[in-house]
Amino acid sequence: MSKNLEKTYNPKEIEPKLYEKWCENKYFHAEVDRSKKPFTTVMPPPNITGKLHMGHAFDNTLQDILIRYKRMQGYNALWIPGTDHAAIATEVKVTEQLKAEGIDKKELGREKFLERTWQWKDEYAGTIEGQLKKLGVSCDWDRERFTMDEGCSKAVEEVFIKLYEEGYIYKGSRIVNWCPVCKTALSDAEVDHEEQAGHFWHIKYPIVGTDRFLEIATTRPETMLGDTAIAVHPDDERYKDIVGKNVLLPLVNREIPIVADYYVDKEFGTGAVKITPAHDPNDFEVGKRHNLPEINIMNDDATINELGGKYAGMERYEARKAIVSDLEEQGFLVKVEDHSHNVGTHERCGTTVEPLVKQQWFVRMEELAKPAIEAISNGDLKLIPERMNKTYMNWLSNIRDWCVSRQIWWGHRIPAYYCQECGKVVVAREMPEVCPDCGCTHFVQDEDTLDTWFSSALWPFSTLGWPEKTEDLDYFYPTDVLVTGYDIIFFWVIRMVFSGYAYTGKAPFHTVLFHGLIRDSQGRKMSKSLGNGIDPLEIIEKYGADALRITLVTGNAPGNDMRFYDERVEANRNFANKVWNASRFILMNMEGKEITVPNESDLSAVDQWIISKMNTLTKDVTENMDKFELGIAVQKVYDFIWDEFCDWYIELAKYRIYHAEEDPAAANSALYTLKTVLGDALKLLHPFMPFVTEEIYGALVPEEESLMMSSWPEYKESSCYPEAENIVDHMKEIIRGVRNVRAEMNVAPSRKAKTYIVCENENLCQGFEEIKESSMPLMSANEIQIQSDKSGIAEDAVSVVVADAVVYLPMEELVDFEQELERLTKEEARLTKELARVNGMLNNEKFISKAPEAKINEERAKLEKYTQMMEQVQERLKGLRK
């Protein structure tokens, strides 16, 4: 027995209650069940550095849609949630918090600092969990993980040791991104590139033993203190005679060689470039090819070190000014050009990053990358949209060794130990008791921690118990689909792929669904600096989670950015209300009635039409969902519910419901169809709008435990009714045509008129006859007569031509002739005056010469409008006077 709904839908009250019920009943929880096929996905773990933003809401909504869909399809669906320790980002936040309290991080010490950071983690991880629950995500909270929990930390340690023992991890000096404020190496992911206005300084380098100079241009003149060569292109005829000679480095007076290297673009600038291997990644590679020395002229805080001579101790930009001044004074500065270029800044503190040669831990990537490249080639891995393949392959094909060490305290500490006596390095799970080389018993652990991405690269399998051979890992891994933003394809997705192959022998997932960024209504990226960020919780508070969720997915295609408008959320809240009110109408009319399954012969053409439409919708939406076309799928469901079901079927069903006493079987068929189609429509809508659909379904089918645990609708050949679709689609066209004519003639809806449908198609006529009584209220008809010719229809009847039929409306039934004649005569007089006024103005030369162009155009538009109106009024008057 169904039950009634409250008069209005109140998401604030309903959403928390339903979420609590879902959690209490463990609907989100999955255990190994060999009788079912698993479907697994892992949540990209949000950083524990604050609140969720709209991008998180988008990402998690897409994942929730997929997991709810698969759960309803009968899969053993597991969605693993978790958070990321976000090493540098969190350390920066906690350091700032301590600073505000007057506490110096260094004075506090490592242990106390880590205690404080764990407190931060406990607070913010809980905040993030609460926010995700508000959004309605159906992840398995019993399996929530953290990148620094015991299991994930064990996996990280195991991987580091394994890679080291296999020769893939080494410690060496290479170029890294260095933050002079945080004093740590950074991954590429932690560097934002922004366009900045700068300069090209053109400098003359004297060629030793000649009176010639080489002119080079640089955006960072301070780095010239560390120049160790000038490079030219091997095929550049201008410089072939000087390759192998030396130039004298201005200000430093050190001779450096001229080398030939294909790295140089001979068409750019002067075709000669300074090579500073310790301060530029490309120069570093050139230096390796030519055995050039690496001269690092900077301290960790970006001041010039003792190798900078007279500039030692100066801050880098202060040194730049002094060097440019000295170059000018000594005649080496040729010119200065304005130049905009991309500058790397640390995303957390905003400091301009310095490329520096540093002693760090690296992972050799060339071999590890090969299986990840093959995965795309052999189809083991599918990226959606497909255009992401190019980005993926480009990065892997040009991959560099990965710097994995960070000079911070928060994170996984590197399991490397140094003998205090002989310097022997031992990588092990625990601190060695005795040095294998010298027998010393004094060891210290490496101070550095690992890059955050080192642990998150293991996320798909470390969360399932790896490196232990757990039953969960055997059953749920590899996972199925990863949903993430296109902006972290290199930093996370590719690292998970090569890690999956390296440690499990399998790709960690078979599909990656990339989504775009959420932008503001002007198309700008949301950021703190612009102050245009939108808090998803505020939107949920105002409109409900369902309205936000459907807004985020509607009109969205994989990989594309989308703009966020409050108006769209409001419109989708109105849709939720529409579904609620329609459902309430159905439930009220079902109350107290025992609705039985009708025979097929008892179903009217209207019932068969909506059942057939619902059947096709099920097929289409399932296909769209399987292709990850979630935006297309939800639009189809939305259009069906609003248009076909609410605006057409419910209206067409009302006649039989209201005349139940005269024909109970017809009313039963209508109510059965309403209940069945509404139930299936709610199922299709559920992954997108879980709360409102669950609440309605609970009232509609109270005998079922939960909509989210019910089965996804399936397409059935037996539910296809093409003939009924043809009949109802024709009748809809007739109704629309009649409504348009009545609107054009200003006929009040209360004025009923006899309607003639002339149709020669026998099947259509038969179908129209069956549904005409249901259709009469929709076209304000007091009678519908269906016939094969025009006999008995008045000459002055207004006609509406539709496919395969002509509809006639007798004029005298539509209008009161005398009243209409009087009204139109008055309208004619009004338009005559308006036309005289407009023509008078437009024929007045004084007005035309002095009035603004916008005003003249406005009057011309009025003339056109009034002329058209007059033509229509006079035509109607002519007809009436006949």
Q: Where are the alpha helices (DSSP H) in 405-530?
A: 452-456, 459-462, 471-476, 495-504
Three-state DSSP string of 73-131: CCCEEEEECEEECCHHHHHHHHHHHHHHCCCCHHHHCHHHHHHHHHHHHHHHHHHHHHH
Total-model pTM: 0.85
Task: Name the band, by pLDDT with cuts 50, 70 and 90, for residue 226.
Answer: very high
User: Which residue would you say has higher pLDDT here, 556 or 76?
Assistant: 76
What are the pLDDT digits (tens) for 106-119? Answer: 889 999 999 999 99
Give the DSSP H/E element, type plus range, for residue 170.
strand 169-179
CATH 1.10.3470 corresponds to the domain 725-813: no
Give the Cα-Cα-Cα angle 201, 206, 207 (nearest 5 degrees). 130
What is the mean pLDDT of the segment spanning 676-699? 97
Assign a CATH topology to domain 818-881: Helix Hairpins (1.10.287)
Q: Percentage of the chain with pLDDT > 70?
A: 98
Of how many residues is the chain composed? 882
- Three-state DSSP string of 524-562: CECCCCCCCCCCHHHHHHHHCHHHHHHHHHCCCCCCCCE
CA–CA distance, 22 with 264 (Å, rounded to integer): 62
Is 506 known as a binding-site position?
no
- The pLDDT-based confidence of 267 (bands split at 50, 70, 90) is confident
Q: What are residue 184's phi and psi, to 5 degrees?
A: -150, 155
CA distances from 470 to 77, 162, 380, 460 (A): 18, 19, 24, 14
Selection from 71-80, 420-429, 846-855 with the highest mean pLDDT = 71-80
Q: For 187, which DSSP code?
A: -
pLDDT, tens digit (0-9, with 9 covering 90-100), for 149-187: 999 999 999 999 999 999 999 999 888 899 988 888 887
- What span, in angstroms and rounded, lies between the C-alpha atoms of 456 and 460? 8
CB 425 within 8 A of CB 117: no
Angstrom distance (rounded) from CA 130 to CA 132: 6
Condensed to tens digits (0 to 9), the pLDDT of residues 544-577 reads: 999 999 999 987 777 677 777 788 899 999 999 9
Least Cα distance to 67 among 162, 147, 132, 145 occurs for: 132
On whether the CB atoms of residues 383 and 195 are closer than 8 A, the answer is no
Contact 677, 614 (CB under 8 A): yes
CATH fold of 179-355, please?
Isoleucyl-tRNA Synthetase; domain 2 (3.90.740)
Please compute the mean of the pLDDT values over residues 293-316 and round it to a whole number. Answer: 93
pLDDT at 529 over 60: no
* Average pLDDT estimate for 459-476: 96
Residue 580 reports pLDDT greater than 70: yes
Q: Please report the pLDDT score of residue 49 as a whole number.
A: 81
Residue 171 three-state SS: strand
Largest CA distance in the chain: 121
What lies within 8 Å, CB to CB, of 418 at 6+ separation is: 424, 425, 426, 443, 444, 445, 446
Rg (CA), the chain: 37
SS3 category, 489? helix
Whether the pLDDT of residue 804 is over 90: the answer is: no
Contact 20, 28 (CB under 8 A): no
On average, the pLDDT of the chain sits at: 91
Q: How far apart are CA 759 and CA 763, in angstroms?
A: 10
In which residue ranges of the chain is CATH 3.30.2320 found? 725-813
Helix orientation angle between 110-135 and 11-24, rounded to the nearest 10 degrees: 110
Is the pLDDT at 71 greater than 60? The verdict is yes
What is the CATH code of the structural domain delimited by 565-701?
A: 1.10.730.10
DSSP code for 188 = G
Task: Enumerate the CATH 1.10.730.10 domain ranges in the chain, comma separated.
Answer: 565-701
